[in-house]
Amino acid sequence: MKRFAFHALMCGVVFLCFGCVPPKTAQEKPKPKPIVGETTQDIGEFDPNSGDEVSDGKVELNIVTGAAGAYGPAVQKISNIQITQAVNLFNAAEGRYPKDHEEFMSEVIKKNNIRLAMLPHGSAYKYDVENHALVVVKVKKAEAGEE
């Protein structure tokens, strides 16, 4: 009977020490940094000939992303409204639209201290000078590695 109690006690100790620890994977991926509440003034220049894929802004819900799939399109629409208003105010004051990306950044974004919500990984803001509009493009993998 003492032997059984000893073995039961030892099994309990082994279980408590080693049974509750989850196995470690060979390469644990770091958790992505949350972007909600983060802002940016990083807006590139859109080149229609570059082949960048422009986001359509549609909400795509699925089992994997759930409601989080609505974050990117919602941020895109809000940012578009903000930039459209700022560009239209520039046009009303100057009688013209910004002539290039540099003027857009200095006279619209920097001068008004506009900060746009961060987009989900894989997307970037670009300003289309020809159409006076903010677009969101899908970042190519080579560009994503440079960030």
User: Which pLDDT value is given to residue 1?
Assistant: 61
Residue 52 domain-assigned?
yes
Q: Is the residue at 47 inside a domain? A: yes
pLDDT beneath 50: ranges in the chain: 144-147
Q: What local confidence, expressed as pLDDT, does residue 24 receive?
A: 59
Nearest of 9, 44, 11 to residue 140 by alpha carbon: 44
Q: What is residue 147's predicted lDDT score, i.e. its pLDDT?
A: 43
Tell me if 7 is assigned to some domain: no
Domain count, the chain: 1
Structural domain harbouring 89 = 43-146
pLDDT at position 125 is 93
Q: Is residue 87 part of a domain?
A: yes
Residue 78 resides in a domain: yes
Distance CA(36)–CA(68), nearest Å, equals 11
Q: Does residue 94 sit within a domain?
A: yes
Q: What is the largest CA-CA distance in the chain?
A: 97
Q: Is residue 93 part of a domain?
A: yes
Apex 84 CA angle, 83 and 87, nearest 5: 80
